[in-house]
Amino acid sequence: MSSRKGFTVWLTGLSGAGKTTLAVLLATQLRARGVRIEVLDGDEVRANLSKGLGFSKEDRDINIRRIGYVCRLLSRNGVGTLSAAISPYSAIRDEVRLAVEQEGAKFIEVFVKCPITVLAKRDVKGLYQKALSGELKGFTGVSDPYEEPLAPDVVVETDRESLDFSIRKILQALEQRGLIPNADLSRPRRVRSVLSQSWKRHAQRSSTVRAAGRGRSLTLLKRLFLKRQIRKR
């Protein structure tokens, strides 16, 4: 796998749409194929790399640029990167795409689409209801803008598709671009039972899913930034 180029899969969508769930399960499948992969979860980046930033447009842009910077570094060094962050503004997403592609790596934008009515039902914390009632201000998609991608490379509709189907759509996009090896259909699918579960169940277990990838992501952030071991270009 060392001869394969790195890439960035940029999962964008509203809170609760399923970005982290997709990223963690995609990482499991990709590692099973021998792909070097890292996951950058938006919440974990805010807690570590972007600690102290607020939710103004300026701070949101800074946060996404930092995630994009890590994606660029990893992708140019042959690592596949899965970014799971709301990233509400199209101009910054396009900026990150350009930066990654200028390094000779591929950027695949995945729009994780789900209507707010469904997200509100999934939301066990009740944040959408608070935002819709006006109690919670600056909530993306309700009282703060979310600019949907105009021409995403992949669209997954998590209110209509099974988790398994959404995963396969993204994997197929990577296969078609020659970024990952095709699946060995002769081998048993060890994660089939996990991927066949409903989106609702995964939404209720979102904190558990994030915890599953926390150690790897935090280690990466410490290596790249907190310990400042990046070689200057």
- Dihedral pair phi/psi, residue 120, rounded to 5°: -65, -35
Whether 87 sits among the annotated catalytic residues: the reply is: yes
Give the integer Cα–Cα distance in Å for 163 and 160: 10
Q: Which of 15, 83, 87, 217 is catalytic?
A: 87
Please, are residues 166 and 158 in contact by the beta-carbon 8 Å criterion?
yes
CA distance 76 to 219: 19
Residue 113 near residue 158 (C-beta atoms within 8 A): yes
Pair type for strands 154-157 and 7-12: unpaired
Catalytic residues: 87
